[in-house]
Amino acid sequence: MQPQKKSLRDGIKDKKLIQRLKNERQQTKVRADDRRKMEFVLPEDEGFLEADENEKTHQFRQDEIVANVDITAARKKFTLDLHQYGPYSLDYTRNGRYFLLGGNKGHIFMADYIDFKPQCEINVNQSIRDGNAGVLKYMDTSTGQQISLHKTHLGPCMVMEQNPHNAVILVGHTNGVVSMWSPNCAHEPLVKMLTHGGPVRAVSCDLSGHYMATSGLDGGKVKIWDIRQLKMLHNIPGNYEVPISSLQLSQRGILAVGSGDVVNIYKDCLSQAPGKEPYMTYKLTPQQSQVSSQHNRQRGSSFKGSLATKSGADGGTTSYGSVHQLKFVPFDDALGIGHGAGFSSIIVPGSGLANYDSLEADPFETKKRRKEGEVKQLLDKLPASMITLNPQDVGTVGKGIIEHEKDMREINIQLKQLGKKEGSKDKQLEKGGKQRRLSAAQKRMKRMQKNIITKEKIDLEHKIALDRQVKERQKTIDRMRKEKEKPFDPLARFSMKTDD
C-alpha cells in the first residue's frame, strides 16, 4: 500500500487559514511555472573555460584571457597600486555596482565598478580592523539602534561570514569551532561545529546556504561541509605551505583559495571532490601587473593620481606581498583580490550568474531607482526576530503548537471533571458521608492542577494584586481624611500614649 499523502487540513480547523495556505501554495506553483517558461528568453548564457586535449585550464594566463574576450570583459582586469596603505580588505554591493576598499593604515576608497569612476576617498589616520573580543553585536542600520549583543564565550573571533540563504552569521574561533548566530539567540548559538583542530582562518558559504567551506591552522586543509546535515563531505586537495588567508565561494559554486601570493580556483567542488589540479591559478607577480597596466592605459581608465594602475617605478619589480581577502563580483565573471600592495581584479569565466532579477538587484539601476528601492526595502523590512536557521518555517503553521493546545484542552477537561468530583465529595462530607479514596491517576491530576500555569490563572493573580493595591490606597486615603477632620490640639504631642 502506498503511504497516504498528508492533507493541508491535517491539524488545522480554521477554514480561513486553510484557504489562505491553499492560495499561497497555488501562487508559488504558478510563479515557478512562469519562471521555467521564461528561461528560454534569458539574454545571457553561462560558460567556463574549455581547454584542448593537450592543455589545462589552470595553465591559461590572464593576459591570454584578456586578449581573447571583448572589451567589456577585458576592463575587469586591472590593478590599483596602493602599497603604502596595505594590506587591503574589500567588499562589493549586493548588485556588484560599487566596491569598497579599506587599508590597514586608515585608507578608505569607494569606486564605481562598471564606469570606473571614484566615488569617495578618505584617510581616517588610524588602523581599520574588527574587534576580536568574542562579542557579537547586531545593529539596525536604518535606526542606529542596537538589536542584541551576544558573548560567544568561545574565545576571539577570527572570521565572520553571513549565510545568504537565511541571514545567519557564521563565526570562526581560535579553538577550531564555527558557531552560527541569529539575533534571537538567548545565551547559546544555534549550532556549534568543531571544524578544525586549530584556529579557524577562513569561512565561506554558498548562495543556496547548503554548503560551507572552512580552513584552519591544522595542516592547511580546506574542508567542505553540508550545513543541512552538519557533517563534512570532503577535503580540497592541495598542500599549502603558507596558511590559507581567505576563502570565497561564488554565486555558481566556484571556490577561490588564497594562500601566500597564490590564488587557486576550483570548480565543481561542493557536491563532489574536485580533481587534483585547480580550475585556474593566479599569482601576484609584477609581470602580470605590468600587462594589466598596459590594458588599463588602452581602455582609458578613470582612476587618477595615487589610484592609477602602475607596474612599479623600476619597470615591474614591485612586491605585492600575500593575499589578504578575496571577493567575487556579483553577477559578473570577476574576482577581487585585496593584498599588501593594493587591489587586483582578475577574470574568472563562469563564476557569476549571467542573468539577474532587476527587481531584486540591478547593476544598471539609476540614481532615482536606487532611492526608490531603498524606500521599498525599508517598507518591506522584516523584524530581526524572523531570522531563523530554517527560513521555510516562517509563514507556516507549527504542528507542535496545535498538538500542545490539543493536550492542554484534554487536561482542562480532565481537571474540570476532577473539580466536579471533588465538589460532590465536599457535599457528601457535609451530609455526613464518607470520603472516597482517590486513585493514583486522580492524585496525579490533582498535583498537575497545582503546577499548571494557565492564562486564566495569571489573569486572576493579576486581578488579586490590583485589588490589594486599590484597598491599601483606599485605607491610606481614609486615614489621611480622618486626620484632617480631627480638631487641632496643641498639647496633643505632650500626651502619653496608653495601650488600650
The strand pair at 244-249 and 255-259 is best described as: antiparallel
| Grid cell for residue 422 | 471533588
What does the pLDDT read at residue 390? 83
First CA to last CA distance, the chain: 91
Which residue, 117, 115, 114, 120, is CA-closest to 102? 120
Read off the pLDDT band of 263 (50, 70, 90). Answer: very high
Read off the pLDDT band of 294 (50, 70, 90). Answer: very low
Instruction: Write out pLDDT tens, residues 92-117.
Output: 999 999 999 999 889 999 999 988 88
Residue 100 lies in a domain: yes
Which residue, 274, 412, 254, 419, is CA-closest to 348? 254
What does the pLDDT read at residue 41? 63
Residue 464 has pLDDT above 60, yes or no: yes
Read off the pLDDT band of 85 (50, 70, 90). Answer: confident
Amino acid letter at 302?
S
Residue 121 lies in a domain: yes
Q: Is the peptide bond before 87 cis (omega within 30 degrees of 0)?
A: yes
CATH number for the domain harbouring residue 107 = 2.130.10.10
Read off the pLDDT band of 145 (50, 70, 90). Answer: confident
- E strands, 291-434, in order: 323-328, 334-339, 342-347
- What is the pTM assigned to this prediction? 0.68
What does the pLDDT read at residue 40? 65
Residue 362 lies in a domain: no
Q: Identify whether the C-beta of residue 148 lies closer than 8 Å to the C-beta of residue 364.
A: no
Burial class (CB in 10 A: 0-12, 13-18, 19+), 345: buried
% of the chain exceeding 70 in pLDDT? 71
- Identify the sign of the CA torsion 347, 351, 356, 362: negative
What does the pLDDT read at residue 318? 42
Q: How many CA atoms lie within 13 A of 104 on its CB side?
A: 12
What is the mean predicted confidence (pLDDT) over 371-378? 86
Q: Identify whether the C-beta of residue 182 lies closer than 8 Å to the C-beta of residue 388.
A: yes
Residue 259 lies in a domain: yes
Range of the domain at 216: 62-286+318-347
Instruction: Write out pLDDT tens, residues 186-226.
Output: 788 999 999 998 899 999 999 999 999 999 988 778 999 99
Instruction: Write out pLDDT tens, residues 392-408.
Output: 777 666 555 566 566 66
**One-character DSSP codes across 142-193:** TT--EEEEEE--SS-EEEEEE-TTT-PEEEEETTSEEEEE-TT-SSS-SEEE
Please report where in the chains the cell 505632650 appears, as a residue: 494
What is the mean predicted confidence (pLDDT) over 480-484? 70
Three-state DSSP at 246 gives strand
Cα gap 141→139, rounded to integer Å: 6
Most confident by average pLDDT, 259-263, 299-303, 417-421: 259-263
Number of domains making up the chain: 1
